[in-house]
Each structure stands twice: as C-alpha cells, then as structure tokens.
Amino acid sequence: MPTHQAIIFNALPNAKRIKFHIPYNAIEWRIQIKAMDSSYYHSAQKLWSVINTKENLNTLKKLFGKEGYNICQPAAKPKMPYHALDNDQKEILALYTQKITLKSYSAHTIKTYRNGFIRFLTFFNSRNYNDISKDEIEGFIYHLIQKHKISDSLQNSIINAIKFYYEHVLNKPREYYNIQRPKKAKSLPNTLAKEEVIKILSAPDNLKHKCILTLIYSAGLRISEVLKIRIEDIHSKEMRIFIKGAKGKKDRYTVLSEKMLLMLRKYYIKEKPAYWLFEGAEGGQYSVSSIQKIFRKAAKKSRINPWATPHTLRHSFATHLLTQGVSLRYIQCLLGHESSKTTEIYTHVMNINNKIVQSPLDNLVMGP
C-alpha cells in the first residue's frame, strides 16, 4: 500500500490545467512536481496544477503509482437560473438598450451590461424598480457571490449595469446608488523574458501566424487593435503604424520595427490581403479566437510561462522598452494609456527584474 494518496481532479477537455492535491508529507512527490516545466502551486486552494496534456497526466499517474492516486470529479459551479422576461421587463430592457447604444458604448460593453441588467430584472421580478433600495441591490450582489461564486470582474460589471439604469435611464443622481464594490486587486502585469519572447515568436511555421504574434509584441498592440489594422495603416516611410479607434475610441500611432516591416513585405507578397492586414480564409477581418489559438499553440510548442496570453506580449513590449531606457511618457503614448498611472505599473516589474538592484544579502560578508 502506498504511504501517500494523491487526488487528481478530472480536467474537462477544454481546461487549460490539470489540478491535483498531494499530502503535505509527500516530499519526494513535491520535489519531482516542482521540476515539471508547467507546475504551479495554487496557495489559496492548496492544489498543484500542470498544463492539461495527455503527457502530463501520464507523468502524474506514473509518479503517484497505480494505487497512489484517486481520480475525482471537480465540484460543478452552480449555474445561474434563466428566467424569461415578461412584457414589462422587455420594454424596460429595450429602453435600456436604446440608452446604452446612444452612448456609443462598444458592442462588447453593451452585451456585458445587458446580461448583468437581465439578471437584475429577473431577480427583482414583479417589483417596482423605482422602489428598490441600495441595501436590496447589495443583497442581490451578495446572493450572486455566495450562491454562484461570481468573480470580482463580473461583480463590478453587474454593478455598472445597474448603476447605468438608475443614472441614465431613470435619471437618478449619480451618488444615489453608491453600491459597495470588491476591493481592487493590485496585481502586476504578467511579462516574458526576452529569451521567452524569441521562443514564442519563432514557434509558428505559418508566416501569417508569425507576423501576427510578432506585430503584437513589436508594436505593443491589443488583439482588437491587430484585427483593425488596414494595409494603408502601415506607414513605412515614417516607420509607424496608425491605430484607428483603439480602446476609448482613441486614434494613435505606434512604432513600426524595421524587422517587422521586412516580415510584413514577405507576408504581403505571399498572402496578398485585400483590405485588412490580416484577413480570414474567406476575406474579412481575422477573429479574436484565431489569434488566441495561434498564441496557445506557440506557447505550448515553446514551453514558456503557461499563464501567458497574447496580451502578455504587449506587457512585455512595455517592460522591455523601460529596460532600454525609453521614458514612461513615450511608452504611455505608444500603448495608448489615458493615464500615466496605468503605464507606471511596468516600473514595478522592471525594478524587480533589474540586475542593477541587488539584494542587501549579496553585500553581507558571511562565514561559511
């Protein structure tokens, strides 16, 4: 009989990670798990995880032995019940949608707000929405947190959706529903080392895929910005790229790398895009999901940080510019940040990784 028993949680086919629990005293297992490239310890859950591949699952089973583990189904997250709207609620939702559309919010924001507002409408079914108090709304949010385990971001989205209704549809004072929000997390942006960037940009064999990932990093772009780039937005004489209608509906210019320009010329000769720089197989804009798939495939092939996303390349662009001595003001303009405070977060990443800053331990004279 094994002295330790591990629990492997059965990962869904689309899950990115395999989570598992090992006993505290399983020291040898822990040492070998730490040596795995993609291993990560989730301190809040007291669980380990690795990237969800057949090879990693087989490695874990071999490590634990035939009788050293149990397969467990993860607890299902409670689904929010769906309730059809009655005619009165449909009229309210239609007016709500009209108001938010006239505000020229993005399609994504409109969809997010509508979904949050529908939950609010159905929860307070048969109520006069003018009479619902702030305490009742906070009770509704608390119910979603406790029963449905909604994330901080979803909590904020639902609060924003409700506040929009009272402030812009019912024209209540802005301070009327000052709803309690979750404490904002102070997380640092996930970045890649230059060696990791080289690996991931070299991973795709397809020229279009390589150009997409390289352009995101070389110009510090968001996925949505890459999709909107037209052929005419590449200004080779000025060595800059025009970004039309970025986040906040702001236009800007960003840098065009000489290496990137050479790569794009090869790509243009081969693919001959008609209007958009990157087009789908049948023409039209490339899709967000396609770029995400390209990145995941490249990340898996290059075996880089498993938590990286396409946006990590944008973070890495900013951090690497800082290490080269480029001023924050220039980086702010290149990224399209409205506030310098948003850009300043990269200084924290640089300070931690900067070789100039040494731990005081390195200057202590210690005995053997």
Give me the active site residues, please.
Answer: 222, 247, 311, 314, 337, 346
Beta bridge partners of 7: 21, 70
Please give the structure tokens belonging to residue 350.
């640089």
Angle formed at CA 154 by CA 312 and CA 298, multiple of 5 degrees: 25
241: left (phi over 0), alpha (psi -120 to 50) or beta: beta
- The Cα–Cα gap between 86 and 121 comes to 10
- The Cα–Cα gap between 166 and 177 comes to 8
* DSSP code at position 115: H
Q: Token match 């000025």: residue?
A: 238
Task: Indicate the SS3 state at residue 266.
Answer: helix
- The Cα–Cα gap between 12 and 73 comes to 9
CA distances to 151, 157, 182, 188, 343 from 185, rounded to whole Å, are 12, 15, 9, 9, 16
Inter-residue long-range contacts of 173-182, CB under 8 Å, 24+ positions, other chains counted: 176/134, 177/134, 177/137, 178/134, 179/134, 179/137, 179/138, 179/141, 180/138, 180/141, 181/155, 181/156, 182/152, 182/155, 182/156
- The Cα–Cα gap between 87 and 93 comes to 10
